[in-house]
Amino acid sequence: MSTPVPARANAPERYYNYAYLDEQTKRMIRRSILKALAIPGYQVPFGSREMPVPYGWGTGGIQLTAAIIGPDDVYKCIDQGADDTTNAVSIRRFFANVADVATTEDTGEATIIQTRHRIPEKPLKAGQVLIYQVPQPEPLRGLEAREIETRAMHAYEEYGLQYVSLYENISAYGRIAATAGYPVMVEERYLMSPSPIPKFDNPKMAQNEAVMLFGAGREKRIYAVPPFTRVRSLDFEDYPFETQTWEETCALCGAEDSYLDEVILDDAGDKMFVCSDSHHCAERRAAGHVGPMAGHTLDQDAALKEPAQ
């Protein structure tokens, strides 16, 4: 018995269009992308479609990718910085399947990077597009539940409420306690949610060389930050914006300047800190950088070379 050869994408037996979405939907999304780029930070409403994954799994990002991707693209997808998590692997396979694209884990060689909750550590360059999956595009939603109100607040640049909220944070905790989804001001005009990236990544948005697109599927919004655009994290003169810092270094690669995840190792409370950006960490280890716990079983490459005793 021979194994059936899987049908090529676009072959008649696939019953769906190249890159999954139909052409009319792509045109509608493409028009929204152009307006989003022309009005940096402004949320463009769009006719979000039902996708073959549930809301919250990146339907906004997937629709953006589907609208722009072509067969010459090299596609990378990360979830919390990692290329090897379920969500990232599924979405990457989806586009390899429906859009005939090459996929990669290498930040440098990707032309489209779809991300959930991180900006890669390696600086992006012209020609790359970073697509953010966004659960809640409205930075003011936690303060004002009505869309009709928040839309007016953006229209008339009424952002006092946001500053009051940050001030209340300081009076309650002595500092601005928000750590992810920290609101930013784009070109000193539109208040924007950076999506739930850690505030560690906020400074990377400013003057970035890549095109940054944001898609919220359930909330039906697209917004964008063009390259070389001013993006400022909100703060006060006496409480300036600060990013997270760690006393530890990455246990596997020794990086001192990357965003670290804390990993609990056992019931005794042992833990390690590792780079959240899995490709960044792997690349550093391949280049010979060694962290204090190098060779740990969590270091898959090392584990493969020297099986645990």
Partner 1 sequence: MSVATLDLSRIAPAFADPVRESQAVFREVMECMARPGRVTRFDRAPMAPNGLGKAAGAVALTLFDFETLVWLDPALADSEAEAWLRFHCGCPLTTKAQDAAFAIVTDMAKAPNLAAFNQGDAKYPDRSTTVILQIASLEGGPVVTLSGPGIQTTTDIAPQGLPQDFWTQIETNQAQFQFGVDVLLVASDQLLALPRTTTAQIKGG
Q: Enumerate binding residues for partner 1 (CB under 8 A).
A: 17-19, 23-24, 26-28, 30-40, 42, 44-45, 67-71, 126, 151-152, 154-156, 187, 189-190, 207, 211, 224, 226-230
Q: Which position among 41, 61, 81, 291 bears the catalytic label?
A: 41
Known catalytic residue: 250? yes
Q: Least distance (Å) from partner 1 to the CB of residue 59?
A: 20
Instruction: Kindly tell me which of 28 and 274 has the beta carbon lying closer to partner 1.
Output: 28
> Directed axis angle between helix 86-98 and helix 59-68, to 10°?
30
Q: Which position among 58, 181, 217, 275 bears the catalytic label?
A: 275
Instruction: Kindly tell me which of 154 and 204 has the beta carbon lying closer to partner 1.
Output: 154
Known catalytic residue: 215? no
Q: Least distance (Å) from partner 1 to the CB of residue 202?
A: 17
Token readout for 55 is 């809301």
Instruction: Kindly tell me which of 99 and 253 has the beta carbon lying closer to partner 1.
Output: 99
Instruction: Kindly tell me which of 66 and 272 has the beta carbon lying closer to partner 1.
Output: 66
Q: Which position among 58, 281, 288, 291 bears the catalytic label?
A: 281
DSSP state of 12: G
Virtual torsion, Cα 92, 31, 190, 110, nearest 10 deg: 30
Known catalytic residue: 77? no
Q: Least distance (Å) from partner 1 to the CB of residue 129?
A: 8
| Beta carbons of 272 and 263 less than 8 angstroms apart | yes
Q: Which position among 217, 250, 291, 295 bears the catalytic label?
A: 250
| Beta carbons of 304 and 108 less than 8 angstroms apart | no
Token readout for 256 is 């001192």
Closest CA to 202 of 163, 242, 162, 166: 242
Q: Is the dihedral of CA 246, 252, 253, 254 positive or negative?
A: positive
Q: Least distance (Å) from partner 1 to the CB of residue 204?
A: 16
Cα separation, 93 vs 37, whole angstroms:
28
Instruction: Kindly tell me which of 189 and 296 has the beta carbon lying closer to partner 1.
Output: 189
216 - beta bridge partners? 221
Closest CA to 67 of 85, 55, 81, 49: 49
Q: Which position among 60, 181, 215, 253 bears the catalytic label?
A: 253
Which residue is it, tokens 């769906």?
Answer: 16
SS3 at position 32 = helix
Q: Least distance (Å) from partner 1 to the CB of residue 14?
A: 13
Query: How many alpha carbons fall within 13 Å on the CB side of residue 290?
Result: 5
Instruction: Kindly tell me which of 26 and 220 has the beta carbon lying closer to partner 1.
Output: 26
Q: Least distance (Å) from partner 1 to the CB of residue 221?
A: 11
Q: What are the residues whose beta carbons fall under 8 Å from the beta carbon of 140, sequence distance 6 or more?
A: 150, 153, 154, 159, 161, 162, 191
Catalytically annotated residues: 41, 250, 253, 275, 281
